[in-house]
Amino acid sequence: MIENFKRMNFKLLSGKDFGQVLKDLWKSTGFVSAEWQQFVMLGVACVLVYLAIVKKFEPLLLLPIAFGMFLINIPGAHDKLYAEPETIITSAGEMQTAGGLFFYLFKGVEWVIFPPLIFLGIGAMTDFGPLIANPKSLLIGAGAQIGIFITFIGALLIGYTSKESASIGIIGGADGPTAIFLTTKLAPDLLATIAIAAYSYMALIPLIQPPIMKLLTTKKERMIRMKQLREVSKLEKICFPLIVCALIGIILPDALPLLGMLMLGNILRESGVVKRLVDTASNGLINTVTILLGIVVGSKAYGAAFLNFDTIFVIVLGLVAFCFGTAGGILVAKVISKLDGGKTNPLIGSAGVSAVPMAARVSQDVGRKYDPENYLLMHAMGPNVAGVICSAVAAGVFLAMFV
């Protein structure tokens, strides 16, 4: 019996001997294809998880992004998660396709499905009252887009094409959905890099903006208390999204996929007659899309493709754009403060970038460090909402110019 077992040469039912099975098993592990870049990105992902959980830096965005980054850089994971569909002939002779999970989820980004849905949820959650009550906020939101155009010009001078420069510049708006929307149409090859940069900077606003705010304002300016905003009527709130859609739609139809969904969400909110739709858009829908978008964006930070000079240079340019955008909003707010006799706290200018409501919360937090009883949040929401509109308009301008 022992001799018979030896003669089998450890053959398995599959026809392979035991040694070959072990070799195939080894080849299927991630150890064979592991590269040093993946371990670097695993470390970066762990740092981002720490910032999200311990430091609470916009965990709703940062945690899914960080986990997606961690997941994709596990050796061997990329080929499985982003496997392209294959045609399979079953025993019944049927044809079917099978691909990796992230291959399908990324279609929500690639086909520009997720960004408008995010805007729908933002519109359903956002009160445009502060912007309506203080129209000067629109100037601050517009001023914060200066980072987009400065970086656009800078990228052109460096040697990027006009479409690539526009896609890099839009990072300065601190608006992930808008960055994805524009880049998909103008420079799809840069989509992964720009999406990661835009969402990472949005999540890291509490780390990036305060030093710029302190550099450009005096202690006296940071302690300015602003008067309570006037009450905005329901009629004004209902008319606002209709007027914005009509005006911008006529001038820049390319901006309507984002602005139209933003204003749809808002009019659902302000109408007061579709509570179930508002609850779905502002909770279940946007939360689901945020999870999917975050993890897919993070999964594009694959070490072997991500850690190269070109990618890092684009991310650095995006940071420059974001910093200039923050500075632009603050400087416009300072000018307004001078003109209105010191009634405007320049700190709300940092909220002119369109990361809602993260940037507004940072304005509030920095202000309260100098005056614990100073409440700037609602005042900062005006420029913050204006920034959302203005960044979408900037994207529409680029599309009108280059498509």
| Confidence (pLDDT) at 357 | 86
pLDDT digits (tens, 9 = 90+) for 190-214: 988 898 888 888 888 999 999 999 9
Highest mean pLDDT of the ranges 33-37, 154-158, 311-315: 154-158
More confident residue, 90 or 78: 78
End-to-end CA distance of the chain: 77
**Residue 224 CB coordination number (10 Å):** 20
Residue 305 structure tokens: 């493709």
pLDDT digits (tens, 9 = 90+) for 316-334: 999 999 999 999 999 999 9
pLDDT at 128 over 90: yes
By CB atoms closer than 10 A (0-12, 13-18, 19+), residue 34 is middle
- Is 76 within 8 Å of 29 (Cβ atoms)? yes
Averaged pLDDT for residues 220-239: 95
What is the share, in percent, of the chain residues with pLDDT greater than 90? 72
| Confidence (pLDDT) at 142 | 95
pLDDT at 172 over 50: yes
Residue 162 pLDDT grade (very low, low, confident, very high; cuts 50, 70, 90): very high
Question: Cis omega (within 30 of 0) on the bond before 357?
Answer: yes
Residue 17 pLDDT grade (very low, low, confident, very high; cuts 50, 70, 90): low
Highest mean pLDDT of the ranges 98-112, 258-272, 309-323: 258-272
CA 124/CA 138 separation, integer angstroms: 20
Q: In this structure, are strands 86-89 and 95-98 parallel, antiparallel, or unpaired? A: antiparallel
Residue 141 pLDDT grade (very low, low, confident, very high; cuts 50, 70, 90): very high
Q: Whole-number mean pLDDT of the chain?
A: 89
Averaged pLDDT for residues 122-134: 95
| Confidence (pLDDT) at 306 | 85
Report pTM.
0.87
pLDDT at 375 over 50: yes
pLDDT at 168 over 70: yes
| Confidence (pLDDT) at 86 | 79
Sole residue written with tokens 């001038």: 251
**Residue 303 CB coordination number (10 Å):** 21
CA 376/CA 4 separation, integer angstroms: 85
pLDDT digits (tens, 9 = 90+) for 42-79: 999 999 999 999 988 889 888 999 999 999 999 989 98
Cα–Cα distance list, 21 to 34, 147, 216, 272, 371 (Å): 21, 57, 65, 65, 69
- Is 338 within 8 Å of 218 (Cβ atoms)? no
Q: Which amino acid, one-letter code, is at 368? A: R
CA 209/CA 40 separation, integer angstroms: 26
| Confidence (pLDDT) at 354 | 85
Residue 160 pLDDT grade (very low, low, confident, very high; cuts 50, 70, 90): very high
pLDDT digits (tens, 9 = 90+) for 282-305: 999 999 999 999 999 899 889 888
| Confidence (pLDDT) at 192 | 82
Residue 65 structure tokens: 């992004």
| Confidence (pLDDT) at 196 | 87
| Confidence (pLDDT) at 174 | 84
